[in-house]
Amino acid sequence: MTHRIILDCDTGIDDTLALLYLFGSDDVELLGVVGTFGNVTEEQATRNNRVLLDAAGLARVSAYRGVPVPSFWTAEQGLDYEVDEGCERFHGKNGWGGAELELPESVNRGEILPDGVEFEAQMVREYGTDVTVIATGPLTNIDALLTRYPELASKLKLVIMGGALTQPGNCYNLISETNMVNDPEAANRVFHSGADVTVVGIDVTHRTLMTRAHVESLKEEGTAGCFLAQALSYYVNANEQADSIFLKGSPLHDPLAVGAALDPSLIQCFPINLMVDLTGPQRGRTVGDPALLNEPAEHVRMALTVDAPRFVSEWEKRVHAGCRRINAILEK
């Protein structure tokens, strides 16, 4: 079975792992990659996406520009998004912890195109639920799509990385999850849109851990593996400094969303009418909507358990395959 995939991402280090997971999968047709803000600016995310696609020999797959600022920003706030200090702490200024992936002149370059929201809408209109949109950053682009074309909600199959139900958040207030707090209004509207949404939150991503041994093993994978190992070392160091719990390993947030989209049996989900707190000190918190407590949860489900050993094994296999695919382009 071939999975048609669109990845909507704020390409920092774990989004890069998500792309490598896709590159190392022979059951994926990647239709396009859309940038968003969060770990880095939208412009940086889109630039990172283009470099990675070209490195993997996917010049034919376009990298699209997304919405550059949160939906709640006003004209007075301007158009220049400033990355939160916490995000930069985990991903660095360029999204790769200072690592760089240099492409030889011989590598074919693809396009960076405007209006990724329109691209996503076109693909959902054409393929319906035969395409899965995976969102690993804030849901601003998805919200813009559904605001522009609300009739597409019934055709949208969406897997997101974000939120938390059963544990503290990973944002500054230890209540909110980072992707949610970067645009709570957008996420709340998506949850109430009627779209088919699978939520892969930190309830499960914190159980899927990348160890230093995983990072070291990537150094055996040539140019791509050394680049990735350098970026991942930055990420692992940041996690360990943030919380001693991560001495056991660093969470594979965004790759798990990709893994669950390709193989839903990796996670077990709880149907819930989800909402996002929009005010006060709990802004960005994901929680059940009390107004819909007694209504059937038909559209949104949240992952609460994961087959972590099976996923981590699959991740390791596919990310190494993704590195070898890139090396076939860079080292020929």
Angstrom distances, CA of residue 8 to CA of 66, 120, 165, 265: 8, 9, 23, 22
For residues 34 and 50, give the distance between their C-alpha atoms in angstroms, rounded to a whole number.
Answer: 10
Q: What is the pLDDT of residue 1?
A: 84
**For residue 67, what are the β-bridge partners?**
none
Q: What is the pTM of this model?
A: 0.97
**For residue 54, what are the β-bridge partners?**
none
For residues 259 and 138, give the distance between their C-alpha atoms in angstroms, rounded to a whole number.
Answer: 19
**For residue 198, what are the β-bridge partners?**
159, 301
Q: Does the structural domain 3-208+254-330 have CATH classification 1.20.120.10?
A: no
Question: 65-118, pLDDT tens digit by residue?
Answer: 999 999 999 766 767 788 988 889 999 999 999 999 999 999 999 999 999 999
Q: Residue 301: is its pLDDT beyond 80? A: yes
For residues 184 and 320, give the distance between their C-alpha atoms in angstroms, rounded to a whole number.
Answer: 35
For residues 242 and 246, give the distance between their C-alpha atoms in angstroms, rounded to a whole number.
Answer: 8
